[in-house]
Structure 1
Amino acid sequence: TGRIDERGVFPHLDRLKNVPYVFDLDFGLKELPEEPGVMLVRGARQYGKSTWMEGAIKQTIRSFGPGSAFYLNGDFISDENALTQAIQETSALFPAETGVRRLFIDEITAVKNWQKALKRTLDAGELDNVLVVTTGSRATDLMRGTERLPGRKGRLARTNFIFTPISYFEFSRVCGSILKEDTLSAYCLAGGCPVACAEIAKTGSLPAFIIEMIRDWIFGEFAADGRSRVSLIHVLECIAQRGGTPFGQYKLTKEAGLANNTVAAEYIRILTELLCVGRGFFWDPGTGVAVPRKPEKYHFINVLAASVFHPLSPRTPGEFKAMPSQVLGQWYEWVVAQELWRRAAITGKDMPEMLPFWQSKEHEVDFVNDSTMFIEVKYGQSSPVEFAWFTHAFPGKRLLVIHNGHFDAKDVKGITLEEFLAEGN
């Protein structure tokens, strides 16, 4: 109808009016194109995709008039046939005089075989001159679905986006004056999830409803895939306890009590699809590529999920800072992994969840970022003397050491975690 300012039309936006902490969401899509095509935005549940979509719908109607935007919710569509019918009925509602037409489909991956419905309506010409904007929480499902739409996504410069956590810079801008010296620890717990960030700034802790919300989402996704909740908890505990240590799927199978390596691989696959866990393959300096056949690292790239499932269950900045230094070192590495993934996702890099590392018998580098920047994460104070070997091992390369201090030597520079995160504004 175009009555976009009435209460109840955009419930997520309505709720923001009563929230004391509101964050700018930047995931690399500044504005929607006016051209037709298909765009796909994937990201974890409860990270603000639906709120962003409501804002995009409202802005579309404000800019191009009533009838320029329509909305479907995949959570309430039973199957591909129902989705096909809904798209057909909705696409027929665009007024003939409307130049810009946008159809928004939230959580399309909740509909089994959704890509068939989209392909069917695209091939029938029912979405000609329409920009279809979809969101989904299963990353690989959305990616595989788009791969089955060759030549059907229009001529857009970019069609795939990942809805990333808010940056530390944004969190500090909004909440730093309240949290003060606890700002970094609070971010390490909330992990850039907008609702968790707002709650920890408001109450000083991660409330129970946030914990249950994330647990229910992840448990629900695994249950839908026919996986065991107990086995999932064991896998997550194994990842948490191993921290940044490389280990193979055989060891994961044994320690998590799984049936075999194939089952272990499936649990890791789903966690990766849900954008909860990133994978670190060994980087071969001879070939300059990651080698998936060796033991690998598993990083939480959704740090809030680490807070939810870690055996120590930290809920406040004070509890976080009181954890053993070994655990804090592991946690800092996860925060860096999430930030590297976040930056790569915003720029549109393929498979940003792949985070290679390098290791020899004597030394290790936590992250090899595009073969140009090597990153080592330490908790506590380090010195350039510890990394004198690096110049000989990798002449002409630079090593960034993230620790609790500063130094700047030949080919090796040390900065704090807070400084590293603040660079990603």
Structure 2
Amino acid sequence: MSLTEINEFLASGEINRPGLFPHLDQLERASFIFEVDFGLKTFPTEPGIISIRGPRQYGKSTWLERELRQSIIDFGPASAFYLNGDDILERDRLEQAIQKLLPAFSKQAAVRRLFIDEITAIPNWEVVLKKLSDRGHLGDILIVTTGSNATDLRRGFERLPGRKGKLDRTNYFFTPIAYKEFHRVCHSTLGTNTLAAYLLSGGSPIACAELAEQHFLPEYLIELTRDWIDGEIMRADRSRVSLYNILQVLFKFGGTPVGQAKLAREAGLANNTVAKGFITILHDLGVVIHCYPWDADKQIPILRKPSKFPITNLLAAVTYFPRRLRSIDDFHALSFQEKGIWIEWAVAQELFRRMAIRSEQMLKPLIFWQNKSHEIDFVYSPEHFLEVNYGKSSALEFSWFAHQFPQKQLTVINTRSFSTDQISGITLEEFLLSPDCCLSADKV
């Protein structure tokens, strides 16, 4: 269905037309349906501009169609319209499309909304919104944009100061499905394989459903993920071969700190500037996040020392991992070391997910602590540290922590539970199922 046809039906209020909301149609036929929570609890009625960024195949378009349909139900025909950046692709065409829709809004609509899916497919989209806003054309409209490239959205919003309205929050990252939600929907089907399936899915609703129903990841989903990441790399005029090399080095080092000069050398790149460029793109896609060493005295990240680069999109890790991972059995067949790395990435993804929901700085780096003798994987807050160990641990192994950090707390994610005054042990599943409030609220 063309954009013109879609908006004609929205203008007339004919929202039950077959094919009008294709993602919602697919959802009705799905065997497993997941609730989405990325921090937008109540949809605003005030005008402004909202950006929602996040990976492909994680449900942004399905969510957008649901909110678009609900807008027509709540506020009447011609109260909301729809555009898709994948269909428009050019800045001038975007401006023309918006100007065409502006007179079509109903005078009776108490709330007016324009939903633009995948706006980041349009180069310099922010110029159009700035121009129309400065002319006063968008003053009573809520513009809701989604995109799969955080670079464009972040830089675009930097060029829209004072034009985003008076909304309490304007930036959102579309997070993976929480393990708690996956467990609620799929545990009765997957049983003891529930956690392994989630670690393969990365929290992608499509991957979650496929693993619950078929117990393996279909190849089309892997290709869609690869096409999305490769496409963004090529749009930045970068080499896919270099991307592959960079990712293989990240897989190799896992949770070990590495400097960008060494990263470039190991990946066969010209210099550390080239390596930094690839890391920046992967970071803005939400695939990789910086994890800097932390100065406990000054309580700041140390930018000059080697960093970790944990994967924060486990489905992307599956896509490029040197071993073929498609089924739950494939995951169980990973080596002890590989599982340890994967679990550390799972914790990084969960920390990233929780930060995004809390509306902290978008794509904020993580931090870790180390000295000459010891290392802690994540500093969750100045008062609370997280260590990830695949296998059994005990409080005795970390007796040094109480001397190094009196009055501070350490949670060790491992395969057994234990508790002392300062050190506690929980399993990965317990961590993923726990509410965020179980950890210190004072974040770094």
Q: Common fold, TM-score beyond 0.5? A: yes
1:188 is matched with 199
Deviations 1:218-269 (A, max 9, x none): 1111111111111111111111111111000111111111111110000000
1:237-276 alignment, distance < 5 Å: 237-276=248-287
1:99 is matched with 110
- Identity, in percent, stands at 52
Tell me the amino acid that sits aligned with residue 297 of structure 2: G
Structure 2 distance, partners of 1:372, 1:343, is 18
Structure 1 distance, partners of 2:338, 2:309, is 15
2:89 is matched with 78
Deviations 1:328-365 (A, max 9, x none): 11100000000000000001000344110011110000
Aligned Cα RMSD in Å? Answer: 1.0
How far residue 61 of structure 1 moved from its aligned partner, in angstroms, is: 0.6
Tell me the amino acid that sits aligned with residue 193 of structure 2: D
Residue 18 of structure 2 is aligned with which of 1, 4, 7?
7
Residue 361 of structure 1 is aligned with which of 348, 352, 372?
372
Q: Secondary structure at the match of 1:376?
A: strand
2:36 is matched with 25
2:72 is matched with 61
Task: Using the TM superposition, name which of 262-271 and 220-229 deviates more.
Answer: 220-229
1:329-408 alignment, distance < 5 Å: 329-408=340-419
How far residue 424 of structure 1 moved from its aligned partner, in angstroms, is: 4.4
Q: Secondary structure at the match of 2:190?
A: helix
Deviations 1:362-415 (A, max 9, x none): 000000113232000000000000100111111111001000000001210000
Q: Structure 2 regions of 5+ residues with no counterpart?
A: 1-11, 437-444
2:300 is matched with 289
TM-score normalised by L of structure 2: 0.94
Tell me the amino acid that sits aligned with residue 307 of structure 2: E
2:47 is matched with 36
1:411 is matched with 422
Deviations 1:86-129 (A, max 9, x none): 11111221112211000001111111000000000111111111
2:238 is matched with 227
1:175-214 alignment, distance < 5 Å: 175-214=186-225
Tell me the amino acid that sits aligned with residue 156 of structure 1: L
Note if contact 2:51-2:170 (Cα within 8 Å) is conserved in structure 1: yes
2:61 is matched with 50
Tell me the amino acid that sits aligned with residue 241 of structure 1: K
2:155 is matched with 144
Structure 1 distance, partners of 2:73, 2:383, is 44
Structure 2 distance, partners of 1:160, 1:294, is 30
Q: Secondary structure at the match of 1:297?
A: coil
TM-score normalised by L of structure 1: 0.98
Tell me the amino acid that sits aligned with residue 223 of structure 1: M
Q: Secondary structure at the match of 2:114?
A: strand
Moved over 2 A (4+): none
Q: Secondary structure at the match of 1:70?
A: strand
2:441 is matched with none
1:307 is matched with 318
Q: Secondary structure at the match of 1:40?
A: strand
Aligned residues, how many? 425
Note if contact 2:52-2:147 (Cα within 8 Å) is conserved in structure 1: yes
Tell me the amino acid that sits aligned with residue 234 of structure 1: N
Q: Secondary structure at the match of 2:86?
A: helix
- Does residue 172 in structure 1 map to residue 183 in structure 2? yes
How far residue 130 of structure 1 moved from its aligned partner, in angstroms, is: 0.4
Q: Secondary structure at the match of 1:298?
A: coil
Q: Structure 1 regions of 5+ residues with no counterpart?
A: none
How far residue 31 of structure 1 moved from its aligned partner, in angstroms, is: 2.5
Q: Secondary structure at the match of 1:306?
A: helix
Residue 90 of structure 1 is aligned with which of 78, 101, 106?
101
Tell me the amino acid that sits aligned with residue 211 of structure 1: I
- Does residue 123 in structure 1 map to residue 134 in structure 2? yes
Structure 1 distance, partners of 2:237, 2:273, is 15
